[in-house]
C-alpha cells in the first residue's frame, strides 16, 4: 500500500460568490487556472492551487467536457 498523505483542505470561500449558486465559482477557478498556467506554466505552485480548487468545485463531467472543448479549440471562454 502506497503512502498518501491526506490534507484536509478545500477551495476557500470566495467573496465574489456569496450566494447558494456556485456555478460561476467553479467556472472562474477553471479560467483562473488556465490564465495562470499560460503565464507561469502548468506545474507552477501558484497555478496548481487553482487547479485543486476547480477540481474541488466542478463536477468531473464538466471538467472533462471543458478539457475536450479546449483540445478541439471550441472552448466557449477566454483561451
Partner 1 sequence: MNNILNFYPAVITTDVAENWQIGFQDPATPIMEGIINLHYDLMFFICVISVFVSWMLGRTLWHFEQNQNKIPSSLTHGTLIEMIWTVTPAFILLIIAVPSFSLLYAMDEIISPAITIKTLGHQWYWSYEYSDYLNEDDDSINYDSYMIPEEDLEIGQFRLLEVDNRMVIPINTHIRVIVTAADVLHSWAVPSFRSKCDAIPGRLNQTSLFIKREGVYYGQCSEICGINHGFMPIVVEATSLPNYVSWISNKLNE
Residues that bind partner 1 (CB under 8 A): 1-2, 4, 6-13, 18, 20-23, 25-26, 52, 55-61
Residue 26 or 36 having the CB closest to partner 1: 26
* CA 64 to chain CA mean position, Å: 11
Residue 34 or 53 having the CB closest to partner 1: 53
Q: How far is the CB of 57 from partner 1 (least distance, A)?
A: 6
d(CA 75, CA 60): 17
The residue among 69, 64, 10, 67 whose CA lies nearest residue 37 is 67
Amino acid at each position: 500500500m502506497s503512502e498518501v498523505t491526506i490534507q484536509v483542505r478545500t477551495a476557500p470561500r470566495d467573496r465574489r460568490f456569496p450566494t447558494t449558486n456556485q456555478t460561476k465559482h467553479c467556472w472562474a477557478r477553471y479560467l483562473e487556472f488556465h490564465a495562470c498556467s499560460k503565464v507561469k506554466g502548468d506545474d507552477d505552485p501558484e497555478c496548481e492551487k487553482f487547479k485543486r480548487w476547480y477540481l474541488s468545485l466542478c463536477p468531473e463531467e464538466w471538467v472533462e467536457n471543458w478539457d475536450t472543448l479546449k483540445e478541439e479549440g471550441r472552448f466557449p471562454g477566454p483561451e
